[in-house]
Amino acid sequence: MDRLRVKLDWLTAIDLSWLDVGHRYSVAHPGRVTAWNVFCTVLGPTAFRLVALIVIIFALVRRNLRVAFFLVISIELSGIITEIAKYAANRPRPATALVSAPSTSFPSGHALCVMVGVLALLTVVLPVVRAPRGLGSSRSVRYLTRPSHW
């Protein structure tokens, strides 16, 4: 393990230098911290889970069990998997954190759950969406959104 730590010292130095730059800027501009905190709360994992829940209910009403189960497994269970990974990594938040959070810092719950939410919802919605007419790249949009492509 010590060999790995020595090999990654350069990466840690880069990470800490960028963290310091961001921290100094955010301390000087507290409105930026508030804005990002609101943005991450509004468009965080909970928002995607709620949207997924609506799509799941809609899919169940239409008796589309495959879509409903796909969204339950991918989006709704991603939070549990993220928490298990956080527990296993047990990496504390940096002392320079500007916003408090109840869990550890790695892996990022926002990053993982939002990425899973966006990809899963796009997987379900893209085949249903029709390509808008009049776009310069309408052929490629139509190709990507037609059901036979998927």
Tens digits of residue pLDDT in 126-137? 877 765 655 555
CA–CA dist 63, 16 (Å, integer): 51
CA-CA distances (angstroms) from residue 110 to 6, 74, 75, 79? 29, 15, 12, 9
The pLDDT, as a whole number, for residue 17 is 83
Residue type, 8: L
| 84 class by beta-carbon count within 10 Å (0-12 exposed, 13-18 middle, 19+ buried) | exposed
- 104 close to 86: Cβ distance less than 8 angstroms: yes
Q: How confident is the model at residue 149 (pLDDT cuts 50, 70, 90)?
A: very low
Stated as kind and residue range, the H or E segment containing 74 is none
* Closest among 111, 130, 131, 109 to 119, alpha carbons compared: 111
For 12-63, how does the pLDDT look when each residue is reduced to its tens digit (9 = 90+)?
788 778 888 888 888 888 888 888 888 878 887 888 888 888 988 988 999 9
CA–CA dist 114, 117 (Å, integer): 5
Q: Which residue has the higher pLDDT, 56 or 76?
A: 56
- Lowest-pLDDT range of 67-71, 72-76, 82-86, 88-92: 88-92
Other CB atoms within 10 A of residue 114 CB: 18
